Structure 1
């Protein structure tokens, strides 16, 4: 790898890290390019070599993070889901860890209904190939994003392994055999 490519990668990496750190402290609309470059320790011109503006940065970061999120689901087909609950829990744990890694991004973006719908729809499109049924894929996709949104906005009350265990358990529940009479006082809202 030549030094110019390495320097370019480093600058881009520093920009993303600085941006994510700023997202952890401020809403997106309050963050400026000046703040990003100062935090990243780079010049404005270096920033503009990589991104048009902060919106371009957010768009490219959203694409990268969403692709990474969805890549965890690309290993499944219907048979692997029903035959390997441990694989489902392992994948769900990887997703929870992914969300923790990008927690400032998800904390911001999962307050945006457009992004919530976009991510849910992208997950649905992955899962429709697994379930081969639009209804199940819709329920699983939108339900998963809903669960993860509550987990994030709840301040990560559960650890990633606890959230993954609960989410995969919910996902693998045979609802036709579930008795809603089984709720006790601890299960009520």
Structure 2
């Protein structure tokens, strides 16, 4: 138990260091050496926990946002989940812009895709249960991919200011897509 606590403490320290550097440097320019020096750790400790800075960044996103979203009842609380993600984006805009500016839109989507896909899969599974219809694996993958691509794209566009709606309206429209579109798609496949 003590090792797990120490390990989590170390990961959080590395994560906080990365976030501090991202306030002043492009993500692609931040080195493992800078992070470990900032934390007072050695290189071996960093690589025990993470493969590289991208792995550390992914862990940071997962801990701060993705795992929280997964804890919502996504069929009932999807508006709260979307609002949480958008609040997280606002609060961490400097960090996300740093990544976006370093790797670009497509890379950012790829970077987050598996987590977004897993959340999309949870939403579709919940909707299947609510509607009482089980999609074939191929149909389900198509629906999950459609929603994952759409929501990820909308959120990135909103974050970058390309979607001019305020947060409340954006959440309302995304929620409407889930509430009205998803059950209809599942019923009619």
What TM-score bracket applies, with the shorter chain setting the length?
0.5 to 0.7
Asked if residue 145 in structure 1 is aligned to residue 152 in structure 2, the reply is yes
Q: 1:69 to 1:155 in 2, by over 3 A?
A: farther
Q: Contact between 2:58 and 2:111, CA under 8 Å: does it hold in 1?
A: no
CA distance, structure 1, for counterparts of residue 126 and residue 6 of structure 2:
41
Q: 1:172 to 1:18 in 2, by over 3 A?
A: same
CA distance, structure 2, for counterparts of residue 155 and residue 11 of structure 1:
37
Residues 17-72 of structure 1 show CA distances to partners (whole Å, capped at 9, x for unaligned) of 1112323443332111122134x342335545544543442454355457425505
What TM-score, normalized by structure 1, do the two folds share? Answer: 0.61
CA distance, structure 2, for counterparts of residue 43 and residue 7 of structure 1:
13
What TM-score, normalized by structure 2, do the two folds share? Answer: 0.61
Aligned positions of 1:27-46 closer than 5 A? 27-38=26-37, 40-45=38-43, 46=45
RMSD between superposed Cα atoms in Å: 3.8
**Could you say which structure has the larger radius of gyration?**
1
Q: Structure 2 unaligned runs (5+)?
A: 129-134, 183-189
Q: Structure 1 unaligned runs (5+)?
A: 81-86, 176-189
Q: 1:71 to 1:102 in 2, by over 3 A?
A: farther
Q: Contact between 1:96 and 1:163, CA under 8 Å: does it hold in 2?
A: no
Q: 1:97 to 1:127 in 2, by over 3 A?
A: same
CA distance, structure 2, for counterparts of residue 55 and residue 116 of structure 1:
11
Residues 1-28 of structure 1 show CA distances to partners (whole Å, capped at 9, x for unaligned) of 86x8766544432210111232344333
The number of equivalent residue pairs is: 164
CA distance, structure 2, for counterparts of residue 31 and residue 19 of structure 1:
8
Residues 144-184 of structure 1 show CA distances to partners (whole Å, capped at 9, x for unaligned) of 11110101122897665454334324444569xxxxxxxxx
